[in-house]
Amino acid sequence: MSKKLDDKTYMKYLLQSLNIDGLKSICRDFDIKGYSKFKKSELIDFVLDSLAEEELKDLLTQKELDIISSEIEIAVKKINGEDRESINNIKIVNDKNHEIELKFKGFNWEVGSYLSITPNNIHDPERDCDCRVGSNMGLCNHFWVGFIYSLKKNYIKLSDWKLTTLPKDFGKKVENIVIKDGSLINEGAVSSLLAKHKRITIYEAAITDIEEKEDDFQGNITTYYLITLKDIEYGPQLKKKSDYRKEDIENIDKLIIRASENLYSNDKFKLGDKITCNGGVNKDRILGFMLKRVTGLKKI
């Protein structure tokens, strides 16, 4: 693949995604000595300065696709609402110059990111990010969220993208992602299917895992159960049975529900049981989209 960037500069971008253990592993693989005294920022330069041109090409061949694929995977999870960070806002700052600002929110932190991809800079886009990887010009997952947004805004064409290789399934990964009301939505993701409803009825699902948990809030201990389901057939929770419509029924592969101790104790549930229940759709900061406030849990 032809790139306007030299391999050393490009590799420096990529290595920002690795932690210090990953960098030390490269040193061992290429028999680089004297690396233990360096901090990460210094270690990246030390590695690149220690490699011959052919070794640098070998490293690029070994690491490029894995690093890019990993960051893209996290970016797609963010779009799907399945990551520990959520996309808080995407704003077009300058449509002519394709400038966008993105805000991400974690449990107790925020990340700001900026991206502008134009025909003049597509070989090395103008970018900035608050995260550890992006602040050092690395191609972080926040960058890839912006890349996907730029792609969906027709700011760029995949055929023009030459800076990095892309996973073979990249097109398939993003084909159902659309921009709605300024936000990125993956219409094929479980999160998008569930987010259409406040409460749903699970008509049939099979239990694959049961985990007893305890929640300690100000000394009050509450026992509850996280039940993992597969092959879920569900629809919106109805006020009356006559509202049932077959075309409203959807299927997803996996879902976690949270059941109270009282509800769970109504029956002896075990792996493989088929169940039905109602529940409120909730995005948990750790588990992602799941059902809480579950009622009517029973075997079928």
Mean pLDDT value across residues 180-191: 88
- Asked if 167 and 200 sit in the same domain, the reply is no
Residue 234 lies inside a defined structural domain of this protein: yes
- Asked if 85 and 207 sit in the same domain, the reply is no
Residue 2 lies inside a defined structural domain of this protein: no
- Asked if 68 and 177 sit in the same domain, the reply is yes
- Asked if 15 and 155 sit in the same domain, the reply is yes
- Asked if 142 and 17 sit in the same domain, the reply is yes
The last residue of one of the domains, among 168, 187, 206, is 187
- Asked if 222 and 130 sit in the same domain, the reply is no
Length of the chain counted residue by residue: 300
Residue 239 lies inside a defined structural domain of this protein: yes
- Asked if 171 and 44 sit in the same domain, the reply is yes
Share of the chain above pLDDT 90, in %: 83
Q: Tell me which residue of 182, 118, 115, 121 sits closest to 143, measured CA to CA.
A: 115
- Asked if 230 and 180 sit in the same domain, the reply is no
Residue 181 lies inside a defined structural domain of this protein: yes
Which range is least confidently modeled, 56-65, 153-162, 239-248, 267-276? 239-248
- Asked if 103 and 238 sit in the same domain, the reply is no
Give the end-to-end CA distance of the chain in Å, rounded to a whole number. Answer: 56
Place of tokens 């990010």: 129
CATH number at residue 279: 2.40.50.140
The last residue of one of the domains, among 187, 208, 228, is 187
Interval 5-43: pLDDT, tens: 899 999 999 999 999 999 999 999 999 999 999 999 899
- Asked if 71 and 179 sit in the same domain, the reply is yes
The last residue of one of the domains, among 187, 217, 250, is 187
Q: Tell me which residue of 244, 255, 267 sits closest to 206, measured CA to CA.
A: 255
Residue 159 lies inside a defined structural domain of this protein: yes
Average pLDDT, the chain: 94
pLDDT band at 271 (very low <50, low <70, confident <90, very high): very high
Domain boundaries, position 237: 192-299
Mean pLDDT value across residues 239-244: 86
pLDDT of amino acid 223 = 96
pLDDT of amino acid 286 = 80
Interval 115-172: pLDDT, tens: 999 999 999 999 999 999 999 999 999 999 999 999 999 999 999 999 999 999 999 9
Which range is least confidently modeled, 73-82, 174-183, 190-199, 288-297? 190-199
In the chain, how many domains are there?
Answer: 2
Residue 274 lies inside a defined structural domain of this protein: yes
- Asked if 173 and 200 sit in the same domain, the reply is no
> Is 216 a residue whose pLDDT tops 90?
no
- Asked if 239 and 144 sit in the same domain, the reply is no
